[in-house]
Copies of this chain bind each other. A is one copy, B any other.
Amino acid sequence: MMIGVIRLKFFIDRLIEQIKEKQSAVCVGLDPHLDRLPGHLKAKYQVESAATGQKKASRLAEVIKDFNRQIITMVAESAVVVKPQLAFYEQLGPAGLEALIDTIAAARQSGLLILLDGKRNDIGSSARCYASAYLNPDSLSGIRRADALTINPYLGREGIEPFLADSSRGAFALVRTSNPGAGEIQNIRLKNGSPFYLKIGKLVESWGENLRGEAGYSNLGAVVGATHLAELKELRQELPHTFFLIPGFGAQGAGAEEAAAGFDDKGLGGLVNAARSIIFAYQREPYRTEYSEQDFALAAGEAARDMRDSINQALETARQRGRRL
């Protein structure tokens, strides 16, 4: 008798499939800043009249669920991935985790992939607990498992492997982060003259060696900010099998042309994240003129389409430039 083995698709292949299908490399960061959530939703859930901190937290969690569900509906067509930043949910305690669970379920229903931005890092049983919480099918956390998690590489391979045990799930390790002061550590020069981030990048490339999918990219990606353009270009050259999560687009200052430097010459290899500039698009131009606060999700949808189009345009320009060379 044959025993049927269902081999789940590699995480990275599912990601690339979605990117190709939607013709989009957009990741929308779901970072619900409490002070920027729409006033009409805060009124609907009576946030202001909450008598205790606990009550306030659970009402804010309701606002976040409603807010995220509306955003998700409107960006599902043009975004490939949503990336909830765990800190924003944790600050509301158990109610915040309930909002996260609800958000993940909504994203799943809308066909979006889910990347949790937790920058988790630990070893042995602790790392396995994190993987269990966020990535395992039989999790007790209530989270209908996400597709990938951001992780911090400081503990070495031992802190990475527990997150890669299931090849249908992936991780993105911090390599060159988008914050202005990241160079203080990540640009430290090593004995061989190369910067620290490059060494980490090469380790990430090697740690993912046995987890490469059909397109040659591995289940272990890297976080490389678009705000450090030269490093982004260099890392794209040096790490041909490592998919990049590229933050720094939008509110942090980088544009589509910078982000495009993180892609390969087939226009693949990058997933570009924007959070505030999409989910709070109704608070900024050109969307503010067109959309009222009530229409925040419509504004987010348009901002996500605009982002997709501008990245595709930049990739097309880069491709044509490449052909001319």
> A-side interface residues toward B, CB under 8 Å?
31, 33, 53-54, 56-57, 60, 85, 87-88, 90-98, 101, 117, 119-127, 129-130, 132-133, 138-143, 152-159, 174, 177, 179-186, 188-191, 193, 196, 199-200, 203
In the assembled complex, how far is the CB of residue A95 from the closest CB belonging to chain B, in whole angstroms? 8
How many Å lie between the Cα of A190 and that of B86 in the bound state? 33
Copies in the complex: 2
> What are 18 inter-chain pairs, A to B, with CB distance below 8 A?
A53-B140, A57-B141, A87-B127, A91-B139, A93-B142, A93-B143, A94-B98, A94-B142, A117-B126, A119-B120, A121-B121, A124-B179, A154-B174, A156-B185, A158-B179, A158-B180, A158-B182, A185-B200
Q: Which residues of B contact A177 (CB under 8 A)?
A: 123, 154-155
Flag if A129 contacts B91 (CB, 8 Å): yes
Contact partners of A54 in chain B: CB under 8 A: 140, 142
Most chain B beta carbons < 10 A, residue from A122, A129, A203: A129
Residue of chain B at shortest CB distance from A189 = B191
Complex CA gap A123/B121 in Å reads 16
Minimum Cβ distance to chain B for residue A100 (Å): 9
Q: How far is the CA of A312 from the CA of B115 in the complex (A)?
A: 47
Contact of A90 among B53, B130, B196 (CB under 8 A): B130
Contact assessment for B91 and A31 in the assembled complex, using a CB-CB cutoff below 8 Å: no
Quick check: A156 and B87 within 8 Å, CB to CB? no
CB distance from A159 to the nearest CB of B (A): 7
